[in-house]
Amino acid sequence: MTELVGRQAELEATERFLDALSDGLCGVVLEGEAGIGKTTLWQAVAGRAAERSVRVLACRTAQAETRLSFASLADLLAEVGDDVFDALPLPQRRALEVALLRVEPTGRPPDQRAVSTALVSLLTELARSGPVVVAIDDVQWLDRPSGRVL
């Protein structure tokens, strides 16, 4: 794993997290004061997961995007192929595609429940082929709609 000075304990903890992925649902939170290197550690963990052939869905949030609906969710799912979206039930796929601005909205905007259900279905579909890591940097800057869905 990447050598980060003074972060051996954190690297070992995140390595245990990666080891536990095959056991089922698990999570890890990197927290601390601003400027202590959480993003560098986050990048190392995401990189290590990718080295293990784990699917990594990542987004780096920004304060400027907090007012944009579903901006973080769009970043998170940017690399997910159409084939995965196509596997979703039509109402879920439509809701998620409208939220992500992949299709033109018609009628009312999708409700949070429909988008949330679609995300769960999409993650479930992705997990059929192996572990998936959802990596979000600076979660405090998630836009509200993305935060509610996640």
Q: In this predicted model, what pLDDT tens digit does every residue of 86-137 receive, in sequence order?
A: 999 999 999 999 999 999 888 888 889 999 999 999 999 999 999 999 999 9
- Angle between helix axes 90-99 and 112-127 (nearest 10 degrees) is 110
Q: Quick one: average pLDDT of 4-17? A: 82
Q: Quick one: average pLDDT of 23-48? A: 84
Residue percentage of the chain with pLDDT more than 90: 51
Whole-angstrom distance, CA of residue 148 vs CA of residue 35: 27
Closest CA to 141 of 75, 60, 56: 60
- pLDDT, tens digit (0-9, with 9 covering 90-100), for 74-96: 999 999 999 999 999 999 999 99
Residue 3: band (very low, low, confident or very high) from pLDDT cuts 50, 70, 90:
low
CB 42 within 8 A of CB 137: yes
| 66, pLDDT greater than 60 | yes
Mean pLDDT for the chain overall: 89
Residue 1: band (very low, low, confident or very high) from pLDDT cuts 50, 70, 90:
very low
> What residue ranges do the domains of the chain occupy?
1-53, 64-129
Residue percentage of the chain with pLDDT more than 70: 97
Question: 24: helix, coil or strand?
Answer: coil
| 30, pLDDT greater than 90 | no
pTM: predicted TM-score of the whole model, two decimal places: 0.85
